[in-house]
């Protein structure tokens, strides 16, 4: 019987679970084995060679060691790959471990050590590239300057859309076209495969900090890359050598999180629409960065490249850093914390936190505050932000009074 063609919502529930019936179980199995029995020296050695080289287990072989292969991790990888329309997925201990493995693998495979990075990017990625730690030379540029930035020794183009933290949208097809055969990696963390499929647009890799929306509950750290089989093998080789493996328990939680991903993302997106519209009315807010507004999507990518605007918002406050400090300290329902994509709403100041290591010319303004909208009732979120924004004026009056005295 031919496999069913499933709607993405159904796929999110069932992907990576094809073997459960044959195992006689309904819930995802969790294999915590750090080492595995060997059928014999010859077969064990062959198993080690195949897995350490980036291959898959074979019949009669062994998984050998958890740094090489784990079935719980593999199920999550398969599920994510199917959601991303990729041939395979490779999971890592964090999003930054995934990015590091990509850079090491592409440099080794191509023999090239130059990367073009479209700013803005997540602060950790920007910092890694700028550090020179991996022996990679990076040219930073805007989306419209990628063609001029590519050199003969360029191994990869990296972009993020929506970008962190200003939510700028990048035309992925256009970047792939001007890259002219240079592989393009898209950080798809903000959009998720619910809203965007970079591989369908020509990208070679779609990367996630799985910590965020894929897990969705703020209780697991991981990273994952969806790509073709050849690239996946190179990434698994790199993972086996460097040891940046995803723990099976983390893979279990991430796989479980995928089943509710479409429902969560759409609900969070609808609440974000309400909150963003309301923020435009506030005198304390000088600008709202939100892809659902026409001025934030000049290329018309929402509805074409990206199915919806997502659930992230960034605002600029007229009072600058002091206003941002007052606002983030005054929230009660929002959690003042880094990260995003959780069921609860988060608020943070990128320039002081996630983008603190970024070079000054690319660091976001001190007036910028980033919001990750969760699953709370939007009316409650608006009430909390009303209180927090009102506190800015109250703090200002206290400072003025103190100065006068």
Q: Active-site residue 82, yes or no?
A: no
Identify whether the C-beta of residue 79 lies closer than 8 Å to the C-beta of residue 211.
no
Coil vs helix vs strand at 89: strand
Query: Could you tell me the sign of the dihedral formed by the alpha carbons of 175, 181, 182, 186, in that order?
Result: positive
> Out of 75, 119, 212, 236, which one is annotated catalytic?
212
Identify whether the C-beta of residue 344 lies closer than 8 Å to the C-beta of residue 318.
no
The rounded distance, in Å, linking the Cα atoms of 140 and 129 is: 9
Identify whether the C-beta of residue 62 lies closer than 8 Å to the C-beta of residue 37.
yes
The upper half-sphere exposure of residue 24, i.e. CA atoms within 13 Å in the direction of its Cβ, equals 0
Coil vs helix vs strand at 179: helix
> Out of 17, 48, 112, 187, which one is annotated catalytic?
187
Q: Which of 82, 110, 65, 92 is nearest to 10 (CA)?
A: 82
Quick one: 149 exposed, middle or buried, by C-beta within 10 A (0-12, 13-18, 19+)? buried
How is residue 302 annotated by DSSP? B
> Out of 48, 65, 112, 122, which one is annotated catalytic?
122
Identify whether the C-beta of residue 175 lies closer than 8 Å to the C-beta of residue 185.
no
CA 204, distance to chain mean position in Å, is 16
Q: Active-site residue 67, yes or no?
A: yes
The rounded distance, in Å, linking the Cα atoms of 339 and 324 is: 17
* Rounded (5°) CA angle 4-6-10: 125
Which long-range contacts link 47-53 to residues 24+ away (Cβ below 8 Å)? 51/236, 51/240, 52/237, 52/240, 52/241, 53/233, 53/237
Q: Which residues are catalytic?
A: 67, 122, 187, 212
């Amino acid at each position: 019987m031919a496999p069913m063609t499933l709607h993405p919502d159904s796929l999110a529930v069932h992907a990576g679970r094809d073997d459960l019936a044959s195992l006689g179980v309904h819930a995802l199995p969790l294999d915590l084995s750090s080492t595995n029995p060997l059928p014999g020296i010859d077969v064990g050695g062959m198993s080690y060679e195949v897995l350490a080289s980036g291959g898959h287990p074979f019949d009669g072989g062994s998984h050998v060691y958890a740094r090489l292969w784990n079935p719980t991790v593999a199920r999550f990888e398969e599920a994510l790959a199917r959601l991303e329309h990729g041939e395979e997925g490779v999971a890592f201990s964090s999003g930054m471990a995934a990015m590091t493995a990509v850079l090491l693998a592409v440099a080794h495979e191509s023999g090239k050590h130059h990367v073009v990075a479209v700013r803005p990017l997540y602060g950790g990625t920007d910092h890694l590239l700028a550090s020179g730690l991996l022996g990679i030379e990076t040219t930073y540029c805007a989306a419209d300057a990628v063609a001029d930035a590519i050199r003969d020794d360029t191994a990869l183009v990296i972009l993020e859309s929506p970008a962190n933290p200003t939510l700028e949208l990048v035309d992925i097809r256009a970047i792939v076209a001007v890259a002219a055969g240079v592989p393009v990696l898209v950080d798809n963390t903000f959009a998720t495969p619910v809203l965007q499929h970079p591989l369908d647009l020509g990208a070679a890799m779609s990367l996630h900090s799985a910590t965020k929306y894929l897990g969705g509950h703020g209780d697991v750290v991981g990273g994952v890359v969806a790509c073709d089989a050849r690239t996946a093998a190179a990434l698994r080789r790199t993972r086996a050598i460097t040891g940046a493996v995803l723990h099976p328990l983390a893979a279990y939680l991430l796989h479980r999180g995928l089943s509710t991903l479409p429902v969560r993302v759409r609900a969070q997106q609808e609440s974000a629409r309400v909150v963003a519209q309301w923020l435009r009315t506030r005198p304390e807010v000088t600008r709202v960065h939100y892809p659902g507004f026409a001025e934030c999507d000049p290329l018309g990518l929402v509805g074409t490249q990206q199915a919806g605007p997502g659930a992230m918002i960034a605002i600029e406050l007229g009072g600058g850093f002091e206003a941002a400090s007052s606002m983030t300290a005054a929230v009660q329902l929002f959690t003042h914390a880094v990260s995003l994509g959780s069921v609860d709403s988060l608020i943070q100041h990128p320039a002081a936190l996630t983008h603190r290591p970024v070079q000054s010319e690319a660091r976001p303004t001190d007036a910028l505050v980033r919001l990750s909208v969760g699953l709370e009732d939007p009316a409650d979120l608006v009430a909390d932000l009303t209180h927090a924004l009102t506190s800015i004026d109250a703090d200002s009056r206290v400072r003025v009074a103190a100065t006068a005295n």
